[in-house]
Structure 1
Amino acid sequence: MTGFFGDPVLPGFRPDPSVCRVGADYYLVTSSFEWFPGLPVFHSRDLVNWRRIGSALDRASQLDLDGCEPSRGLFAPTIRHHDGVFHLVCTLMDGPGHFVVTATDPAGPWSQPHWLDGEGFDPSLFFDDGPDGGDGRAWFTAARVLDEAAGRTEIWMREYLPRERRLTGPEHALWSGSHPDARWSEAPHLYKIDGTYVLLTAEGGTDVDHSVVAARADRVTGPYEGAPGNPVLPPAKGPVTCTGHADLVQTPYGDWRAVLLGVRPGSALGRETFLSRITWEEGWPVFSPVVHTGLRRPLHDGFATLSADWSTLRTPAAPFWTTGDGLRLRLRPDRLGERTTPSLLARPQEQPDCDVSTELHFAPAAPDEQAGLAVVLDDDTHLLFLRTTEGLSLHHGPEVLAGVAVPPGPVRLGVRIRGFSHTFAHAAPDGAWQDLTTVEATFLTPLFTSIQLGLYATSHGRPSTNQARFAWFDITYPGRQEPPGHQGVSSK
């Protein structure tokens, strides 16, 4: 194994990670909520360097997010491999509920969803067919709410039939927390280690009290006894907080690791995927500290094609973009602030401090036609730096924060992000950057999702045949060399 354990191995909007290993290959999925394609799938050979290989739900026929509220949609998937097939379970909140999709290749295509019975959220699968015994049965676990006001939940289980993709048999209540007043026992995962069944759950909610607890039993149906030192990963303090929602994986060398979510305070990055080393003491998992050492991945996208890292809000009925000559967005009546799918393509912000820029080629033909750069938490909370018939204007919802007249023709749009401080700037293609204004955007504080950086166009409720072309899109970091041919969003 190589790399720095504890780095945000998947920075930015990558919450609720789940991992499995097949031979020398690791596969990981995370939640995606109201963003499409749903449930991104990543591959690694070392658990540190990950490459996105696709999404489990990338077809409109698989996933209908029409009308989905912010921070709803797809919650907490789990990926497992059994007998040559990948099984991925998840919950569509405010929809039919739990489902499973399957594939023989994790890059896809994945099957249509098979809907599963049962209440709750945070589903997981356990295949009891390890070399140390087991009866070859598979089990589905999930969390369900008993008393929402008190945060009381319960982990329940039913048998899962892998070939039929359905649940069968009676329910078993496994666990309701590490102590009588435990809140939000969730994110259950089962493992069989040295003949003992180990149940790992999150507890305390997803804020600063988030933690990981463990329990174990001689039989898969319990009863489960909690670790005497619970939580095995207590609420974190320091440069990474809110740690929890862990999933364990054993390496080919016999040692153990955990992927888990965590938050770097002081920014709008939200919940990211971290890595921890696991040791065992008296049969209980011990987590190494989760720290941060500053992993950064600059980006230059010339849009030869549309990479898998770009997402839309909800499921588009048809593509509203083309690539090859930059990125072209069709102006459509849909707009941010509605529960529709606007002409928005976005990707996660990955670091608290970054410089974002693009070159826009767009001539608005009517006052309602606008296009430009977007900093988006959700439909209701965003900053839009747009070209209009009057020039450039910065919008926070219906409020115009600042504006400036600019001549017709291409214009560069940029934003320097330093924590919650956002400085918007503009430039002619061959000119120096000019600052417009700085916004202290603490209103971008995330709950379940996090900040997306993107490109946006709208005709505000009116039909239009116009298009906006974005020649390129850059994300760079302070102190790093800019991509060749492009000037960073430095102050004037």
Structure 2
Amino acid sequence: MTKTTIITNPILSGMYPDPSWIWDASYQRIALVNSSFELVPGLPIHISTDLVHWEHVADVINADMARRLLIPFVEDSGGVYAPTLRKIRGKYVIACTIARINEEKALAGGCSQDELAAARCAQGNFILVADAIEGPWRGPFWISGAEGIDPDVFEDKDGVVYWTQTRPAIHPQWEGQTEVWTQRIDPNSWTLIEDGKPTGIGKTIIWRGYGMEAVWAEGPHLYRIGDYVYLMTAEGGTSFEHSEMAMRIYAPDGLCEAYAEYEQEVFQAGERIPSVRENERCYLGQNVRAFHANKKNPILTHRHLGLSESLQCVGHSDLLQHSTLGWWLVCLGVRETRGENAGELLSYLGRESFVAPVSWEHNPADWKLDGSEASVHTGTDPGWPVICDGFGRLPDEIGVAVSDNGQVLYDPFAGSSYEESSPVLLEVSGDAEDVMIVRDASDVKYRRIAGLPCLMPVPHEGSLVIRQNSANCVKFTMRDAHVECETVIDGNVQAHPKAETRPSTRAAVLFDQNRLSVIAGLESDLVDPNAFVENGYVLACYDARFLSTEWAGGFVGCMAGYVE
């Protein structure tokens, strides 16, 4: 007898980018965090036991933490980037970066030079720590000497903890080339450790991308799986060329020992360890590398599916082993809306969180004719991760069946499109889940727009604001039986002609198919958004493309807010 459940992608809709998760064995549940940029509360934490039902249990960043992280002083699409959630020595740990700090604004807002210097010396990279996933969270512990973005923190089997992240290549061979570096870190003081005193050896470069002209190797994560340490990176940037790569190093006695053996291998080959900068080493030799790439890379991408595919930008992944459901991957993806022009794709929701099952396979060439494994490390080699075996892409839904003997079967399938047919009602009056953009110095609370079509009532008093960023937003205001519309496009403000409503009607904005349609209908019909749209009449219609990421730029999704 089997029990089947259906997991629907995305698991978190709307602006929930850069997901990172752990299997929290102490509580037999998944804990997942997302980046939140300039939003406060920020770094939302969701938990789940079954990958189907997700509960928002906490926000790591409250108003006090936001001030300590200088979030009130960041630019558009600034703030907290790409967190990594791990459990290190019994503590919950988040490694993260804050970007685009406006130091002039920070000083004017009361920040001290010491605060700015600490963030600057860490290039915005920090650690937060908690005893419980719900918090409270302590920090930030600024990582002096860190460089770049997308940090990872990894504890190996020997108890050694590593800090890993990506930075622009010091000696790039082409534009956009980055390099992934790693270094030991003290989890008590959260300071980077220099090995090999007194001369000191700091950062070790372990990756620069999978191939020639590979760009933006970022989002690195290290994993201990069997006798190997795996490195996963997102490459190609977070747009239409996004992809996920897998590499690994044989390290049965720990990464430190594997590094020492690699250096011996280099010397025996008659080569030398390249030096990028003083007190740094590079494990990307001419003929010998420490980490070996999966020859079937990328392990996940949608870039090969073409622009007819509505789910794009897939990558920035994190692995997890569920106690009963096995291996899974979480990643970001972007649901696109087609434009009128051929190949025109526009995204409004931001980057969302998707999941897929993972299996492990060996290359068929690794097996002997008698059926035994030819691998040198027989019995200790997990192989390579395969995402959604036999399917080759992220599924819209995954059927998961667990038999009485614990066997897990997956049935992935895809529909014709991620676009929804019926509008979803989004009330923006506010509740406990609302977020603010504190650098705006206003009391506007926003909610993520989680799907299109979306119907948003215009309040009887005050205004409805739909925001992509500070330079691209729109405001609808009800005044004297008229609906007024004011757009901000690339920072230019334009007031549009008033639209008159009929008596006893309610105005709402339908966001759908690259349009913002102001519709008047009966307030009683709002309980059924589809009925409101069908029975109502259109007062005005506006081009919504300026609210897309492709037009506005940046990394965030649209949000709706209420302004008094």
TM-score by length of 2: 0.69
The offset of 1:175, in angstroms, is: 0.5
C-alpha offsets along residues 43-83 of structure 1, whole Å, 9 cap, x if unaligned?
Answer: 11112321211211112343322342111211100101133
Structure 2 counterpart of 1:212: 244
C-alpha distance in 2 between matches for 1:227 and 1:440: 45
Letter in 2 for 1:63: L
The letter of the residue matching 2:438 is: R
Q: Are residue 454 (structure 1) and residue 548 (structure 2) matched?
A: no
Task: Please give the per-residue CA displacement for 1:181-215, whole angstroms capped at 9, x wherever unaligned.
Answer: 21100000000111100000000111111000011
When Rg is computed on C-alpha atoms for both structures, the one with the higher figure is 2
1:259-305 per-residue CA deviation (whole Å, 9 max, x = no partner) reads 000111114112110001111112111111213356989667697x8
Change in Cα spacing, 1:183 to 1:3, as seen in structure 2 (3 Å) is: farther
Q: Number of aligned pairs? A: 416
Structure 1 residue aligned with 2:328: 257
Work out the percentage of aligned pairs sharing the same amino acid: 29
One-letter code aligned to 1:311 = V
Distance 2:42 2:179 in 1: 27
Counterpart mapping for 1:215-226 below 5 A:
215-219=247-251, 220=255, 221=259, 223-226=290-293
Shift of 1:440: 2.2
Give the equivalent residue in structure 2 for 1:240.
311
Does 1:155 find its partner at 2:149?
A: no
Match of 2:166 among 134, 143, 156: 143
Contact 1:7 1:295 in 2 (8 A): no
Taking a change above 3 Å as real, the CA distance of residues 254 and 442 of structure 1, as seen in their structure-2 partners, is closer
Residue matched to 1:64 = 70
1:160 CA displacement: 2.1
Deviation at 1:401, TM superposition (A): 2.5
Residues 1:127 and 2:155 aligned together: yes
Q: Which residue number corresponds to residue 106 of structure 1?
A: 133
Alpha carbons 2:36, 2:43 under 8 Å: kept: yes
**One-letter identity of the residue aligned with 1:150:** E
Whole-Å separation in 2 of the counterparts to 1:299 and 1:107: 30
Task: Assess, with a 3 A threshold, how the Cα gap between structure 1 residues 295 and 419 changes in structure 2: closer, same or farther.
Answer: closer
Deviation at 1:425, TM superposition (A): 2.9
How many angstroms apart in 1 are the aligned matches of 2:219 and 2:236? Answer: 11
Confirm whether residue 396 of structure 1 aligns to residue 400 of structure 2: no
Equivalents in 1 of 2:188, 2:150: separation in Å? Answer: 22
Instruction: Indicate conservation of the 8 Å contact 2:313/2:333, yes or no.
Output: yes
Task: Give the counterpart of 1:168 among 184, 193, 201.
Answer: 193
Cα shift at 1:453: 1.6
Pairwise CA distance, 1:104: 1.4
Instruction: Name the structure where strand makes up a greater proportion of residues.
Output: 1
Q: CA deviation at 1:388?
A: 5.0
Alignment of 1:39-118 (within 5 A): 39-60=43-64, 61-95=67-101, 96=119, 97-117=124-144, 118=146
1:145 Cα deviation from its structure 2 partner: 1.0
Identify if the C-alpha distance between structure 1 residues 58 and 32 changes in structure 2 by more than 3 Å, giving closer, same or farther: same
- Counterpart Cα distance in 2 of 1:416 and 1:119: 44
- Asked if structure 1 preserves the Cα contact closer than 8 Å seen for 2:482 and 2:498, the reply is yes
- Paired amino acid for 1:106: I
Query: AA paired with 2:299?
Result: V
Q: CA distance change for structure 1 residues 192 and 19 in 2, over 3 Å: closer, same or farther?
A: same
Gaps of 5+ in 1: 129-133, 316-339, 363-370, 458-492
1:441 paired to 2:555: no
1:348 to 431, 448, 470: 448
- Long gaps (5+) in structure 2: 102-118, 195-201, 260-282, 284-289, 338-346, 363-382, 397-414, 526-534
SS of residue paired to 2:541: strand
Do 2:458 and 2:476's aligned partners in 1 also have CA atoms closer than 8 Å? no
Partner of 2:355: 275
User: Which residue identity lines up with residue 151 of structure 2 in the other structure?
Assistant: P
Once superposed, what is the RMSD of the aligned Cα atoms?
2.7
Partner of 2:471: 380
What is the deviation of 1:87? 0.1
Q: Which has the higher helix share?
A: 2
- Kept after mapping to 2: 8 A contact 1:359/1:429: no
Alpha-carbon separation, structure 2, partners of 1:388 and 1:62: 40
